[in-house]
Chains A and B, each alone.
Chain A
Amino acid sequence: MNSDSLTRAYTLLLKRDLILAIRRRAEMLNPLLFFVLVTSLFPLGIGAYPELLETIGPGIIWVAALLAAMLSLDGIFRSDFEDGTLEQFLLSSHPVSVLVLAKVLAHWLITGLPLLLVAPLLGILLGLPADAIRTLLLTLLLGTPVLSLLGAVGVALTVGLRKGGMILSLLVLPLYVPLLIFAANAVDTAAAGLPVTAHLSFISALLVLALSLSPLATAAALRISLS
């Protein structure tokens, strides 16, 4: 198969997943709503202490983003598995890892990108300084694709199980921890007025690593799940 037809398959699959997401808007809004609700409930729960909120704000936003991503992960492959289209991807004449990458990109556009758009508002809500909000956006921009990429491996491994939700969280959460530590710490550091280049470099490294390895791992995991 030449690269032209691979490019066509990639763009068509990306378009297909976006069309499906638009036709099932409610599912798409779920993680975003969760993200906004959880973050905005914290000030109500612990009281409106500006210093306290500013201190824990980055952590809250990142934990909420991480859980929102987890909530939406199953959707990457579940419905395709149930209606048999996933089998068709494995039997296609294209490398499965490239098709996986299209699906993960679609997932990020549907669930990760909206988080980025509302995050500045939530930053203001929690009283984060402007520098910290800018860093928050940068970490989310670099970090949310990592959530989708690593999550895809977990979903691919558990999609064949009837109740894979619990195992999925146990599999994926430990992989998310380094990202959470560096991202939340970067925002904290920025709020204190210190440089965050090192943090951002580390998160970028995670992104590159996930981008290059996770599609291969996901493709292999899908083969195992479907056999």
Chain B
Amino acid sequence: MTQTGNNTTLEAHELECIRDDRILFSNLGFRLEPGQALVLEGRNGSGKTSLLRILCGIRLPEAGMVTWGATDIGKLGADYHVHTAYVGHRDGIKLDLTPLENLAMARALGKPSDITLEAALEKVDLCGFEDVLTRNLSAGQQRRLALARLLVTDTVLWILDEPFTSLDTHGIKVIEKLLEQHTASGGMLAVTSHHAVNLNNTPTQTINLSA
């Protein structure tokens, strides 16, 4: 999964984000190496989601740039996206499809991982729900299905916007374990969360956008 050298370093240089004439953050920089996690904190509306969307390449920063292995992600395009997986505010799953159909689509959009779709569902504790319409799952189960998307493609950088929303304490533990396994095997994380993120043994940088 991991590549050698600087090929898998995510760096942000002097990022600035303006929304409705308000500067959310400026001169923001950080460096994320394989095996590390970045946790973004801040009040509602402080720009956490905007920053994640900039890291994904969906949104352009007003100033500064994000580089992946020293190349601007805007220039890399699909060559960057093949290394990233994003679970946003919205789940990115279709309610009228079954969990298996949703994961099959998610897998086809990226570079497939070795794990089977059923195994991915098992890892997020959704065993037995393979052929139920996603619409009939609870909010927490839907969220876990969205997070199962991370497992079906082979990616290094996971960008997660409030991954623990609507999860119960058990669900949070399950997901935290997945995140730990990901960083332990050389993956990278960029996470926003209202809850405290407990990642044992993972070097974690915290950026507070309200400060």
User: For the complex, is A42 an interface residue (Cβ under 8 Å from B)?
Assistant: no
A23 to B97: give the CA distance in the assembly, Å: 9
User: For the complex, is B51 an interface residue (Cβ under 8 Å from A)?
Assistant: no
B residues in contact with A84, CB < 8 Å: 88-93
Which of B78-86, B162-170, B180-188 is the contact stretch? B78-86
Residue of B nearest to A84 (CB): B90
When the two chains form their complex, are residues A87 and B81 in contact, meaning their CB atoms are under 8 A apart? no
User: For the complex, is B119 an interface residue (Cβ under 8 Å from A)?
Assistant: no
User: For the complex, is B43 an interface residue (Cβ under 8 Å from A)?
Assistant: no
When the two chains form their complex, are residues B91 and A94 in contact, meaning their CB atoms are under 8 A apart? no
Which of B22-30, B105-113, B192-200 is the contact stretch? B105-113
From residue B150, how far is it (CB to closest CB) to chain A in Å?
12
A residues in contact with B109, CB < 8 Å: 9, 88-89, 91-94
A94 to B109: give the CA distance in the assembly, Å: 7
When the two chains form their complex, are residues B59 and A227 in contact, meaning their CB atoms are under 8 A apart? yes
A residues in contact with B81, CB < 8 Å: 91-93
When the two chains form their complex, are residues A20 and B78 in contact, meaning their CB atoms are under 8 A apart? no
A83 to B88: give the CA distance in the assembly, Å: 10
CB contact list, A197-218 vs B, under 8 A: none
When the two chains form their complex, are residues A83 and B93 in contact, meaning their CB atoms are under 8 A apart? yes
User: For the complex, is A46 an interface residue (Cβ under 8 Å from B)?
Assistant: no
A5 to B94: give the CA distance in the assembly, Å: 21
User: For the complex, is B66 an interface residue (Cβ under 8 Å from A)?
Assistant: no
Knowing A90-B58, A91-B84, A93-B78, the reply to whether A83 touches B90 (Cβ < 8 A) is: yes
Residue of B nearest to A223 (CB): B58
Sort chain B's interface into a size bin: 20 to 34
User: For the complex, is B63 an interface residue (Cβ under 8 Å from A)?
Assistant: no
From residue B73, how far is it (CB to closest CB) to chain A in Å?
11
Among A8, A19, A88, which residue has its beta carbon within 8 angstroms of that of B97?
Answer: A19
Residue of B nearest to A22 (CB): B96
User: For the complex, is A13 an interface residue (Cβ under 8 Å from B)?
Assistant: yes
A residues in contact with B132, CB < 8 Å: none
When the two chains form their complex, are residues A1 and B111 in contact, meaning their CB atoms are under 8 A apart? yes
User: For the complex, is B60 an interface residue (Cβ under 8 Å from A)?
Assistant: yes
User: For the complex, is B56 an interface residue (Cβ under 8 Å from A)?
Assistant: yes
User: For the complex, is B18 an interface residue (Cβ under 8 Å from A)?
Assistant: no
From residue B117, how far is it (CB to closest CB) to chain A in Å?
12
Knowing A89-B109, A93-B110, the reply to whether A23 touches B58 (Cβ < 8 A) is: no
Knowing A83-B95, A91-B81, A226-B58, the reply to whether A12 touches B111 (Cβ < 8 A) is: no
Residue of A nearest to B54 (CB): A227
A92 to B95: give the CA distance in the assembly, Å: 20
A88 to B135: give the CA distance in the assembly, Å: 19
A residues in contact with B105, CB < 8 Å: 12-13, 16, 85
When the two chains form their complex, are residues B59 and A16 in contact, meaning their CB atoms are under 8 A apart? no
User: For the complex, is B57 an interface residue (Cβ under 8 Å from A)?
Assistant: yes
Q: Kindly name the residue among B59, B84, B94 whose own CB sees the greatest number of chain A CB atoms within 10 A.
A: B94
Knowing A85-B93, A93-B81, the reply to whether A13 touches B108 (Cβ < 8 A) is: yes
User: For the complex, is A24 an interface residue (Cβ under 8 Å from B)?
Assistant: yes
Among A82, A87, A93, which residue has its beta carbon within 8 angstroms of that of B88?
Answer: A87
A residues in contact with B96, CB < 8 Å: 19-20, 23-24
User: For the complex, is A178 an interface residue (Cβ under 8 Å from B)?
Assistant: no
Q: Kindly name the residue among B56, B97, B105 whose own CB sees the greatest number of chain A CB atoms within 10 A.
A: B105
Residue of B nearest to A89 (CB): B109
Which residues of A line the B interface, CB within 8 A? 1, 5, 8-9, 12-13, 16, 19-20, 23-24, 79, 82-85, 87-95, 226-227
Q: List 9 A-B contacts (CB under 8 A).
A: A19-B96, A83-B93, A85-B94, A87-B86, A88-B92, A88-B149, A93-B82, A93-B109, A227-B60
